[in-house]
Amino acid sequence: MDVFTVATAVTALSATVAIVVYLLLSHHLTTQSSSWPKTKQSLAYIQKVVPKKKKIQTPLNSLNDFIPVGEATAVHDVVQLFVRRGNEFSVYSIDWEQEVVVLIRPVDGADLKTHPFFREAQRRKAVEVLCVPLERLQDVASAVADEVAHVQEVFIFMTARCGSTLVTRLVEATSVAQAVCEDDVFSVIHMAVHRLKRSYQQGRTPPHHSCYTLLSNEESTIGLLRNVVTLLNYNLVTSDPRHRHVIFYKFMPDVILLADLMARAFPSAKTVFMYRNGLEVSESLLRPYVQQWHVRYVAYRAMTRLGFGRLVSHTAQADHAQCFGDDPKFSQVHYRGSGFFDLFTLWVGVMDCAADLQRKQPEHFFHAVIHYSDLVNNKEKTFRLLMKNLGLKWSPEDPGEDKDKIERALVEDSQAGTVLSAKGRRPGEKWEPDVSPRWVGQWEREYFEEVCRHAGNEIPGPDFLLPDTIV
């Protein structure tokens, strides 16, 4: 370690203190005990709630995001309830302790599509939760399955920071399809599968019986995924003024590890993969984390090289962002557990999985592959090609299309108003390319390539391009 690096770490460390304290406090607030039941529920129930106020939501959605108000109301015939009112509720999460699927009802008149992220809109707008026992989920889904049998699903897998939110905003602006941007329930299911797998590997007992019995069998996991999507489809089609029956679901990066099961659950679904240069993804994620302060980035990089990166990373990163890095093949990688390690293994893991799916199951993966640079350089042309590859007939000139809405989606910052907006823009502000100097340099590239080598060299570096990428 050179003297300059040590000096930089020491002098800039104070700039990171506020972030570390805030993240530690946030972590404490999100992990403290709640007043929700901790045992299996045999009956469905409805509970009025008040959302907890959180500036940054790093854990996956759960009942702990809400404060229960008043007494819960037992639902003795949840199937009939759902037939009457099911369109009011959207799937939010799964509580493995209570063995229930959690659905939320938003405040009357709320449009959950106005926020860039569906999961965040659900959390902020919820006034009531409906908890359905897992053992009754099949009955509930069967009661409404015929109503959504015509739905065409499109699944978007991605690396993050690759323009996928923009695509969902564009889809939502069209008359031919609607889009859900990151419903957390899929990551909740994946992480339960992931933890179960790790428990087996390490000889530990799975934490929850329901998780063990349901997810240890692939067919029952497929059934769970199919039922969850059925309920989501029902809510989305019936609550959409245009009743659009083509639905895009954009997942968080970790869900690509469920892609094979998703394909088996929905063999007619179309799939999309979106990605970006790995170093650009990492920098784009780190910039909001350090609040766009280069000195904080330099400090964190120096702390990582000094061996202190782990101290900050695990308060800032959620488990689903670290699920690739806990693979034993990365056990000898330097700076294990740091933010750089988490981000690099995340990108490499997603890309490796995408390449494997593309090679082994070309009939399912992928119907369209989009690189960030192509989307940014020509948004409308790339979007047209995407829709064409998916077999969807669309043009902004078609009758019934709202040209103004499409134009706004093309020029506005798709993540404005969220902590992930690159420039902290407010909703409605225009997006502009970042022309500032790059923060990542030679050290980051060399470290990235080290991660790639441990992954097995399928993905040689951050510049790797998947075959069949739209250009």
What are the tens digits of pLDDT across the range 287-302? 888 888 999 999 999 9
In terms of residue numbers, what domain contains 92? 40-149+189-243
pLDDT in tens, 340-372: 999 999 999 999 999 999 999 999 999 999 999
Cβ within 8 Å of residue 223, ≥6 positions away: 138, 265
What's residue 430's pLDDT?
A: 82
What's residue 209's pLDDT?
A: 63
User: Do 393 and 306 fall within a single domain?
Assistant: yes
Let me know if residue 400 belongs to a domain: yes
Whether the bond into 4 is cis, omega within 30 of 0: no
Let me know if residue 428 belongs to a domain: yes
> Minimum mean pLDDT among 39-53, 174-188, 428-442: which range?
428-442
Two tokens, residue 250: 């954009």
User: Do 308 and 208 fall within a single domain?
Assistant: no
User: Do 227 and 376 fall within a single domain?
Assistant: no
Residue 80: count other Cβ atoms within 10 Å of its Cβ: 13
What's residue 421's pLDDT?
A: 75
User: Do 389 and 463 fall within a single domain?
Assistant: yes
Q: Is 32 helix (H, G, I), strand (E, B) or coil?
A: coil
What's residue 311's pLDDT?
A: 75
What's residue 216's pLDDT?
A: 87
User: Do 313 and 446 fall within a single domain?
Assistant: yes
User: Do 8 and 93 fall within a single domain?
Assistant: no
The neighbouring-strand residues paired with 250 are 156, 181
Answer yes or no: are the C-beta atoms of 467 and 354 closer than 8 Å: no
Let me know if residue 180 belongs to a domain: no
User: Do 343 and 391 fall within a single domain?
Assistant: yes
- By C-alpha distance, which of 315, 258, 308 is closest to 58? 315
Q: How confident is the model at residue 42 (pLDDT cuts 50, 70, 90)?
A: very high
Higher pLDDT among residues 217 and 59, named by residue: 217
- Where do we find the tokens 């063995």? 99
The neighbouring-strand residues paired with 151 are none
User: Do 307 and 200 fall within a single domain?
Assistant: no
What's residue 312's pLDDT?
A: 67
Let me know if residue 257 belongs to a domain: no
What span, in angstroms and rounded, lies between the C-alpha atoms of 466 and 471? 12
Compute the mean pLDDT over every residue in the chain, rounded to the nearest whole number: 89
Q: What's the whole-number mean pLDDT along residues 199-219?
A: 79
Residue 261 has pLDDT above 50, yes or no: yes
- By C-alpha distance, which of 133, 144, 137 is closest to 44? 133
User: Do 235 and 297 fall within a single domain?
Assistant: no
User: Do 44 and 19 fall within a single domain?
Assistant: no
Let me know if residue 440 belongs to a domain: yes
User: Do 338 and 218 fall within a single domain?
Assistant: no
Q: What is the pTM of this model?
A: 0.92
Q: How many domains, the chain?
A: 2
Let me know if residue 409 belongs to a domain: yes
Let me know if residue 261 belongs to a domain: no
- By C-alpha distance, which of 52, 153, 46 is closest to 100? 46
User: Do 138 and 46 fall within a single domain?
Assistant: yes
Let me know if residue 252 belongs to a domain: no
